[in-house]
Amino acid sequence: MEAKLPLKESRQALAEAERPAGGPARVTIVKTKAEQGLSEAYAAIADALPGGDGVRDVRERAIGRFEALGLPHRRIEAWKYTDLRNAMKVALPPAVGDDTEVTEADVAAALGPLADIAADRAVFVNGAYRSDLSQLASLKDILGSPLSAALNDKSDKDAADLLRLNDRDDDAVLALNTAYVTDGAVVAIAKKAKLAKPLLLVFVRAGSEPHLAATRNVVSVGDGAEATIIEAFVSVPGAAKSGQHNTVTEIAVGDGATVTHIQCTVDAGEVMHLANWLVDVGANADYRGFQFTSGVALARNGLAVTFKGEDAKIDLSGVFLARKTQHVDTTLVVDHAVPACLSRELFKGVLEDEARGIFQGKVIVRPDAQKSDGKQIAQVLMLSPNAEFDSKPELEIYADDVVCGHGSTSADLDEDLLFYCRSRGIPEPEARALLIESFVGEALAKVERDDVREALTEVARGWLADAAKRTR
C-alpha cells in the first residue's frame, strides 16, 4: 500500500511542488483570519466528510491548493471587482451531518411562488439531503442519488472522479468546494428521455446558528433528451441572519439534447453566495441558462460554458436585484471551441441605494471555430446616484469568419415614460413598478415554461414594488 503523508505534511509537499525548480522559496503571505479559519475547519471535519480514501486524497489536494492560492482578491483579473479576500471576514463553521428540524411547510414558505411549480423535488437542508422533504416518485428516465451516497457507495476511483475538476485547479473557490462539499445531486438523464416535469433542487438554509454549506450537483443529459433543471437557494423563516454557501453545478449536455437550467437565489441578511456553473454542450444541442439573484449581501455567479460539438447553441440570461450595500457579480466565459456555434447572453439588473452590480462577460473563439456567432448585452437600471455598475465585456477572437459583438448600458428610469404613466392616472409608485418590471421583463421572457416564468416574475414583483416605493 502506498504510504500517505499526514495532512499538514501533504500540504507542505504541495507547496514545495508549486515552487519553481531551483528557485528560491516563495514569499510567505500573511493569511487572513478567514483563510486560517477555512484551513483549520477542514482539518477538524475531514474525517466526518463523505467518501473513502480516494475522495479524501482529492479533498486534501484541494485544500492544499486553496492554501497555496488563498482567497481571490482584486489583483486577480477575474476577481477585479469582487475582492473576496477583503469581503470574507470570518469563516463560518461548516455544516456537517446537519439534522436541523425543517418541515414541508417551512420549505414551501421559503420557496414562495416557486413552491407552486409542478416539479419533482429534491431538498437539501444546510447541505444535507432530506428524503422526507423530497418528492421524486414520478421520475422514470432519470438515474440519480444524493452526492453523499455516491461518494460512499461507488468505487474509490469513481467516487473520486465525481469531485475532480480537471484543468480548474487555479480557482480557490472551486478548490474550497471540493474540500468541503457534503452533498448535492448526481443525475443521469437517459438518451431521448423527455422529463414531463422540471427537476427542482432546493437548497435550504435553516437554523439559528450561521454556517458554511458546500454542495455540488453532477448532471449528465443523454443525447436527444429534454429536461428542465431548477436550482433554488432559499432560507426558512427564522434562519440565522448570516450564512455562506459555496455551490458548483456540472452539466454535460449530450448531442441533440435540449436543456433549460435555472438558478434562483433569494435570501435576506448577511449571506454570501458563491456559485459556479461548469457546462459542456454537445453537437446540435440547445442549452438555455437563466439566473435570478436578489437579497444576498454578496453573490458571485460564475458561468463557464464550452461548446464541445458543432452546430450547438446556448442562451444565457439573468436578472439581478440589489439594494443597500448588496453586491452581485456575474462573471461568465463562453468558449467557442468548435465551429458553427451560436451564443447569446442578456443580463439585466436593478440597483438602488449603494448597491453594486458587476458583469464580466468573455467570449473566446478558438482558431478553428469558424462560423461562430456570439453576442452579449448587459443593461442596468440605476435607481440611486450612489449605486455602481461595473461592466467588462471581452472578446478573444482567433478565427476569421465570425460574427461577435457586445453592448452595455446603465441609466435611470425614463422621466418621459414616467410622466406619461402619471398623466394617465397611474400613481407614481405603481408607475415606477410597471416601468421597472417592463425593463427586467425582457430577460424574464427568456424562461419559456409559463409556470416557471410566472413564479420568477412574482418573486421579482415583490422586490420591484418595494423598490418603486423607496425611489424618489
Q: Each residue of 118-162: pLDDT tens digit?
A: 999 999 999 999 999 998 765 665 767 899 999 998 887 888 999
Nearest to 279 by CA among 256, 304, 244: 304
Of the ranges 102-111, 159-168, 169-178, 360-369, which one carries the lowest mean pLDDT score? 159-168
62-101 pLDDT, tens digit each: 999 999 999 999 999 999 999 999 999 999 999 987 778 9
Tell me, yes or no, whether 82 and 111 share the same domain: no
Domain of 133?
104-413
Confidence of residue 232 (pLDDT cuts 50, 70, 90): very high
CA dihedral 412, 413, 416, 420 (to 10 degrees): -170
Alpha carbon distance 60, 187 (integer Å):
25
| Residue whose C-alpha cell reads 461548516 in the numeric block | 94
Name every residue whose Cβ is closer than 8 Å to that of residue 335 and which is 6 or more positions away in sequence: 304, 305, 306, 307, 364, 366
pLDDT value of residue 145: 84
The neighbouring-strand residues paired with 409 are: 379
Taking a C-beta distance cutoff of 8 angstroms, is the pair 380, 348 a contact?
Answer: yes
Q: Are residues 77 and 112 in the same domain?
A: no
Neighbours of 155 (CB within 10 A): 10
Signed CA dihedral, 92, 98, 101, 103: sign only: positive
Residue predicted with more confidence, 434 or 231: 231
Same domain membership, residue 72 and residue 125: no
Distance from first CA to last CA of the chain, Å, rounded? 70
Same domain flag for 80 and 113: no
Residue where a domain terminates, one of 368, 389, 413: 413
Assess if residue 291 is contained within a domain: yes
Q: Is the residue at 435 inside a domain?
A: no
Which of 291-317 are b and which e, b meaning 16 or more Cβ less than 10 Å from the residue's Cβ? Answer: bbbbbbbbbbbbbbbbbbbebbbbbbb
Q: What is the DSSP letter of 94?
A: B
Residue 293: C-alpha distances to residues 313, 358, 409, 452, 460 (Å): 24, 13, 19, 15, 9
185 and 39 share a domain?
no
Please indicate, yes or no, whether residues 57 and 156 belong to a single structural domain of this protein.
no
| pLDDT for 144 | 78
**Which pLDDT score, from 0 to 100, does residue 212 have?**
96
Tell me what the pLDDT averaged over the chain comes to.
89
Please, are residues 212 and 181 in contact by the beta-carbon 8 Å criterion?
Answer: no
Percentage above 90 pLDDT, the chain = 75
Mean pLDDT, residues 26-55: 89
Q: Judge whether 212 and 94 are in contact, CB under 8 Å.
A: yes
pLDDT (average), residues 447-458:
94
Contacts with 187 (C-beta within 8 Å, 6 or more apart), sequence order: 142, 143, 144, 199, 217, 218, 219, 220, 229
Q: What is the structure's pLDDT at 268? A: 80
Do 83 and 170 lie in one domain? The reply is no
Residues 268-305: pLDDT tens digits?
889 999 999 999 999 999 999 999 999 999 999 999 99
Give the pLDDT confidence score for residue 469 in this predicted structure: 60
The sheet that has 286-294: what strands, in order across it?
128-135, 120-125, 199-205, 226-235, 258-266, 286-294, 313-322, 342-351, 372-382, 402-411
DSSP 8-state assignment for residue 383: -
Q: Strand 298-307: give its sheet, edge to edge.
A: 142-146, 185-189, 212-221, 242-253, 270-281, 298-307, 327-336, 356-365, 388-397
Domain assignment present for 99? no
Please check whether residue 248 is in contact with residue 217, taking contact to mean a CB–CB distance below 8 angstroms.
yes
Query: At residue 77, what are phi and psi to the nearest 5 degrees?
Result: -55, -45
Name the one residue in this structure whose C-alpha cell is 437550467: 261
Residues 243 and 361 in one domain: yes
Task: Give the contacts of 91 (CB within 8 A, at least 6 positions apart).
Answer: 33, 34, 35, 36, 37, 38, 41, 212, 244
Q: In this structure, are 127 and 82 located in the same domain? A: no
User: Residues 15-30: pLDDT tens digits?
Assistant: 455 444 554 555 556 8
Question: Do 310 and 252 share a structural domain?
Answer: yes
- For 399, the grid coordinates are 478565427
Same domain, 294 and 190: yes
Of the two residues 331 and 166, the one the predictor is more confident about is: 331
CA dist., res. 181 & res. 8, Å (int): 20
36 within a domain of the structure (yes/no): yes
Q: Phi/psi at 186 (nearest 5 deg)? A: -110, 115
pLDDT confidence of residue 432: 81
pLDDT digits (tens, 9 = 90+) for 362-402: 999 999 999 999 999 999 999 999 999 999 999 999 999 99
